[in-house]
Structure 1
Amino acid sequence: MTDYIARRSLDQYVFLPRLFQGFPEIKEALISNRVQAGFLVAPLAVALRSQGVPIKIVFLGHRYGSAAVVKKGGPVKTVADLKGKTVAIPSRFSDERLLLLRALEQHGVRAADVRIVEMPPADVAAALASNAIDGFVMGEPFPSQAEMGGYGHVLFHAREYWPDYLSCVLVVREDVIQRRPEAVQVLVDGIARSGLWLDSGQSEREYAAEFVGRYYYNQPPSLLKWALTRPLDRVRFNPLIPRRDDFELVTRLMLENKLIDKPIAFEEYVDSRFAEGAAYETAWDYPVGAGRLDPEKADD
């Protein structure tokens, strides 16, 4: 995505992608200015801002894309069956933790009656397969990995307990926003156009999975195709504008679960001007199959 934005930018901005294995590493890279922008789970972004870290949310990465997965054919058939079980989440500051707590509450299960453990996302599928955990709540492609492996069953998708669930958000350091707002706008515009292109249909998603899986994500394209197409709205890339109501729900849940110690105003952690500027963007004019599946040949 960043390569394509750079090639299509009239101002020839260059955005260099960096792959991190977890959100704590991204957090430290943002704080130390080793990266100037990145995708974080929404509660972590809000918490960092409340702690004085100079970042602002400028756009969303996607909606939905998280699910609770349990052992296929195992004893957990409903959310209520999670009582007394071990469930992995990526972080106490994750949307997935808040999602799990909402589901438990609706089924009358106290959080204290479930053993909730933090685990790196890349480890959860193997942990479920080996019975080290009874389930996990994670973002894609890890739910799909367990499904494809034949040992995982989706207990629920995020949309079932959290309509318009938002997951990752794009944060940018405030010094960059102040010094280079035009570059931030180019980045947000490009992400908006990429999202609209992905939401155009199944063929676009399959092509993206092939490209990203082979060159950037170090995951089998077949896994990413599963995550992006079964069903097509398993992950949504529109609308990605940060909405006040969505974040007020996030911050309320964070307060209730002691992730922040006082309310924080929407304007304190969101700079919405770039999303508003991207609202009139259209999908990339990039036919599926155009060019070779090679990042150096993306415009051929």
Structure 2
Amino acid sequence: MSGLVDRRTLLRGAVGLAAAGGLAGIADLARTAGTSRANTSGQLRVGYLPITDAAPLLVAHRAGLYAGTPVTTAQPVMFRSWSSLAEAFMSRHVDVVHLLMPMAVQLRYSLGGAARILGWNHTNGSALTVAPDVTDLGQLAGRQVAIPFWWSIHNIVLQKMLRANGLRAVVRSAPSKAAGTVGLVVMSPSDMLPALANGAIGGYTVADPFNAAAEIKGVGRIHRFLGDVWRDHACCALLVHEDVVDRNPTGVQQLTDAVTAAQLRISTDRKQAAEMLKAGNYLPQPLPAITKALTYPADTYPITHHDWQPQRIGFQPFPFPSFTRALVEAMQDTEVDGDRRFLSRLDPATVHTDLVDDRFVRQSLSRGGGPTAFGLPADLTRTEEVEPT
């Protein structure tokens, strides 16, 4: 699948995204209404959610790594929900985003968005946070749990955990303690913490620093890091429009170089990275929550796989084909409130080569000291490890 989609397809896609993941897009899109959708300037605009998943894009901006690249040095545009960010991307209000990887699959194969993944923006970085009275996963039966989007690694991993513990996720129906069902509801990340605090939900699974913030405020506790279920899973991928790749491969290489350089910088000094994210006014959360999210101490949490270091958000940019395949397979077993028909048309073995363009990140890795400098295997291959119990 290649080439641009027409305006009618884009509008249908925006409506589909709103229906599938929440209706928070209108206000966010209005913020960029003064910018030409045609983007004749040739500069690429960055869009993001205020979570630590966005750190590479934001640190690259703060550190001046976009200078001399096609990426604008203007402040990146912040959105409050995944649906609004995706709608802005599809309508060309922004050109470079970090997007939930399952959502990128949906965008390309269900909504007709001509997008390519250049690499991973980060690995891990999410958790299941529960109300203080929840000490066992079974206590979520009969309660609601919030997820950031239907097509998210959060929903996929949460449902794996529920099934492994004899529970079943339900959508659009009341959860039952007797039946062992857990209700799922989509919420913007910023709405999750107050919903947990007032008892509207029994837990949420989302990216940091919302998990760290719940602990700092004393309204919730981290039950399990998602990286303790799926080792070094990709949550967000680096996305650009496919025509940008075709039209300006040199600029795309410069973009990828800047983001990977930022990933190295974050890994070298996480506390400084947290300060940069706060000083640049990119994230509204307090500095202690941002710092905690980037530097979780392993010895204070119940972790099953200590050698996986699941509490640490990782900044390894290479998009492993084994993960894309396993992800598409897992999407087929995941309950969502939305159209699933596109999954029947997908061959998990071939999605990676169509969706992901890893030419640029391979070159960036070479320029950054090679795969091992990023903590990656030298041969850039791996076997997926998923253990939800």
Question: What TM-score do you get using the length of structure 2 for normalisation?
Answer: 0.67
User: CA, structure 1 residues 133+60, in 2 after alignment: closer, same or farther (shift >3 Å)?
Assistant: same
Could you give the per-residue CA deviations for residues 166-198 of structure 1, whole angstroms, max 9, x where no partner exists? 111111101100111111111111111111221
SS of residue matched to 1:198: helix
User: Which residue of structure 1 aligns with residue 361 of structure 2?
Assistant: 275
User: CA, structure 1 residues 12+190, in 2 after alignment: closer, same or farther (shift >3 Å)?
Assistant: closer
Question: What TM-score do you get using the length of structure 1 for normalisation?
Answer: 0.86
Which range is displaced more, 166-175 or 233-242?
233-242
Q: CA contact under 8 A between 1:193 and 1:281: conserved in structure 2? A: no
Could you give the per-residue CA deviations for residues 75-109 of structure 1, whole angstroms, max 9, x where no partner exists? x2222222222101111111110010111111121
Q: For residues 1-300 of structure 1, what are the structure 2 equivalents within 5 Å?
A: 1-3=59-61, 6-7=64-65, 9=67, 11-15=68-72, 16=74, 17-51=76-110, 52-72=112-132, 74=133, 76-112=134-170, 113-200=181-268, 204-215=269-280, 216-231=282-297, 234-257=311-334, 259=340, 260-264=343-347, 265-282=351-368
Q: CA contact under 8 A between 1:188 and 1:275: conserved in structure 2? A: yes
When the two structures are aligned, how many residues end up with a matched partner? 277
Shift of 1:58: 0.7
Distance in structure 2 (CA, Å) of the matches to 1:14 and 1:98: 33
Letter of the structure 2 residue corresponding to residue 91 of structure 1: F
User: Which residue of structure 1 aligns with residue 50 of structure 2?
Assistant: none
Q: CA contact under 8 A between 2:125 and 2:208: conserved in structure 1? A: yes
% identity of equivalent residues: 30
| Structure with more contact order per residue of length (Cα contacts < 8 Å, sep ≥ 6) | 1
Unpaired runs of at least 5, structure 2: 1-58, 171-180, 299-308, 370-389
SS of residue matched to 1:92: coil
Unpaired runs of at least 5, structure 1: 284-300
Q: CA contact under 8 A between 1:6 and 1:14: conserved in structure 2? A: no
Shift of 1:4: 5.0
User: CA, structure 1 residues 110+21, in 2 after alignment: closer, same or farther (shift >3 Å)?
Assistant: same
Shift of 1:7: 4.9
SS of residue matched to 2:145: strand
Distance in structure 1 (CA, Å) of the matches to 2:213 and 2:99: 22
